[in-house]
Structure 1
Amino acid sequence: MTSLTPRQVKAQQTKKRILEVALELFSKKGFDQVTVDEIVSASNTSKGAFYVHFNSKYEIFLEKFKEIDDFYENFIETLPKDMKCSEKIMNLVKSQMLYLRDDLGRDLLRTVYMSALIPNQPKTLSNTDRKLFKIIHSIVQEGQEKGEFTNHFSVKEITMLITRCMRGTLYDWLIFNDENFDLIEESQKFLRPIIVSIQNEK
């Protein structure tokens, strides 16, 4: 493996600093209230350095979503191969909610949802090319091939149902803003009837 040059290491450190500072500012002030100039100033970098790594402030979110998707991909590899597909989905959703609650947080996630409504911006939350969608799709496909899930619905339809359930639970968590709202418990409660409805009767 080729080691990085000091210049490449410095570039990576700069990108990481810009990313972390920008996310913190978005969380505190809201996406629309933060400018690139403010990110540059707070991260003690230059505008040129910012645009070397990001085309716009929205790309900060895209970078964060890559990290989140990597988490999903790594998590699914830890599950036993012989685990039922329904259990894989339930475990994946549980891990997702824990990760988003503890690592991203309500304030930043609220900003992500609000930013998804901005015209002419990439629709990351609904992008079916994301790793999360592909992971769910592959589990559903496996479930159908093994006869665990019904073929009355297409793999794509079931995948959309499950991912819509995930987004809906997160959305409720954000709009209710209730400290008693247990994100993990509610996600499982919301998802369970969907899983039951797609399972083949024994």
Structure 2
Amino acid sequence: MAKRNSRNTRGRIISAAWKLFYEQGYDGTTVEDIVFESGTSKGSFYHYFDGKDALMGTLAYVFDEKYEDLMPTLDPEKGAIETLAYINHELYVMIESSVSIDLLTRLLSTQLLARGEKHLLDRSRVYFRLLKKIVRQGAERGEFRPGLAQEEIVRAFAMWERAQLYDWCLCGGDYSLVAYAEKMTPLFLESFRVGE
């Protein structure tokens, strides 16, 4: 029970922080604002984080919360390629509506500069577990071209998504991430589908 409460407290702090970063901007948000919004204490905040900057690497946690929310909505009758396109679309809708491009750019740049933990590449994340499950089910149903390892498909899809996010940030968000992904992600995924 204590472990669950600690995860909930940490999660509430992270969720509150990213909500405030979006609404008020990173620089306009204080630790006090985050503590108030999360309904926690300063002691709890500093138990989990050294300061506000330490929250920059936690956007992957926010993404994983989105994937957890999506899991019950996945249609087991849909193929793996359609399911991957769906989760890609839903994440990008969330990003465009609630994550500022400046914050996403900061996160991506911290991941480029990180010498230690790279949160986006952490294979124990909900994201990677979900991708593996979707790809495994697709492989079991014979949906993918022969000779493609499941891990290769997972890795390529994760790289595809990171590439889209990096490009969107590099371009300053001057196009709709959602609209671009709706058009291009299915084309990318079709390269994995077994021939008719």
Q: TM-score range by the shorter chain?
A: 0.7 to 0.9
Larger RCO (CA under 8 A, 6+ residues apart): 2
**What is the deviation of 1:98?**
0.5
TM-score, length of structure 2 as denominator length: 0.77
Select the residue among 130, 136, 145 that pairs with 1:141: 136
Spell out the pairing of 1:45-64 with structure 2 (5 A cutoff): 48-55=43-50, 57=52, 59-64=54-59
The alpha-carbon distance between structure 1 residues 128 and 69, as it changes in their structure 2 partners (threshold 3 A), is same
The count of corresponding residues between Structure 1 and Structure 2 is 186
Residue 182 of structure 2: aligned partner: 188
**What is the deviation of 1:112?**
0.8
The answer to whether structure 1 residue 98 and structure 2 residue 98 are counterparts is no
Q: What CA deviation, in whole Å up to 9, does each residue of 1:43-84 have, x standing for no partner? A: 588875542232454542454432320211221321221111
Contact 1:140-1:158 within 8 A present in 2 as well: yes
Contact 2:67-2:127 within 8 A present in 1 as well: yes
The alpha-carbon distance between structure 1 residues 88 and 40, as it changes in their structure 2 partners (threshold 3 A), is closer
Structure 2 unaligned segments of length 5 or more: list them: none
The answer to whether structure 1 residue 79 and structure 2 residue 51 are counterparts is no
**What is the deviation of 1:171?**
1.0
TM-score, length of structure 1 as denominator length: 0.75
Structure 1 unaligned segments of length 5 or more: list them: 2-7
Identity %: 22
The alpha-carbon distance between structure 1 residues 154 and 54, as it changes in their structure 2 partners (threshold 3 A), is same
Q: What CA deviation, in whole Å up to 9, does each residue of 1:94-145 have, x standing for no partner? A: 0010011112121211111111123334201122221111211211111111
The alpha-carbon distance between structure 1 residues 140 and 111, as it changes in their structure 2 partners (threshold 3 A), is same
Residue 17 of structure 2: aligned partner: 20
Question: What's the Cα RMSD here?
Answer: 3.4
**Structure whose alpha-carbon radius of gyration is higher:** 1
